[in-house]
Amino acid sequence: MLKPDQNLLLTQTGRGTPMGELFRRYWVPALLSEELPAPDCPPVRVKLLSERLIAFRDSAGKLGLIDEFCAHRGVSLYFGRNEEGGLRCPYHGWKYDNMGHCLEVPSEPEDSNFKKKVKLKAYPCVEQGGVIWAYMGPPELKPALPALEWATVPADQRFVSKRLQESNYLQALEGGLDSSHVSFLHSGELHSDPLHRDTKGARYQADIHPKFEVIESAAGLLIGARRNAEADSYYWRITQWIMPWYTLIPPYGGNALNGHAWIPIDDENCWTWNMSHHPTRPLNETELTAMQSGQGMYAELIPGTYRAIANKDNDYLIDRAAQKAGKTYSGVKGIAMQDASLQESMGPIQDRTKERLVSTDNAIIMARQRLMKAALNLQKGIAPPGLDPNAHKVRSASLVLPRKVPFQDGAKEALIARSDLAPMNV
| Farthest CA pair distance, the chain | 85
Distances (CA, A) of 334 to 224, 297, 308, 374: 25, 7, 11, 35
Q: Which amino acid is at 11?
A: T
**353 vs 422: CA distance, rounded Å:** 43
Q: pLDDT per position in the chain (426 positions), as tens? A: 899 999 999 999 999 999 999 999 999 999 999 999 999 999 999 999 999 999 999 999 999 999 999 999 999 999 999 999 999 999 999 999 999 999 999 999 989 999 999 999 999 999 999 999 999 999 999 999 999 999 999 999 999 999 999 999 999 999 999 989 998 999 888 888 888 887 888 888 888 999 999 999 999 999 999 999 998 999 999 999 999 999 999 888 889 999 999 999 999 999 999 999 999 999 999 999 999 999 989 999 999 999 999 999 999 999 999 999 988 999 999 999 999 999 999 999 999 999 999 999 999 999 999 999 999 999 999 999 999 999 999 999 999 999 999 999 999 999 999 999 999 999
Query: Angle at CA 24, nearest 5°, toward 20 and 28?
Result: 115
**386 vs 138: CA distance, rounded Å:** 17
Q: Where are the domains of the chain?
A: 27-141, 149-415
**383 vs 65: CA distance, rounded Å:** 25
Q: pTM of whole model > 0.75?
A: yes
Tell me which CATH code domain 27-141 carries: 2.102.10.10
CATH of 149-415, one of 3.90.380.10, 3.90.1150.10, 3.40.50.150, 3.40.50.300: 3.90.380.10
Distances (CA, A) of 115 to 25, 98, 99, 142: 31, 15, 14, 28
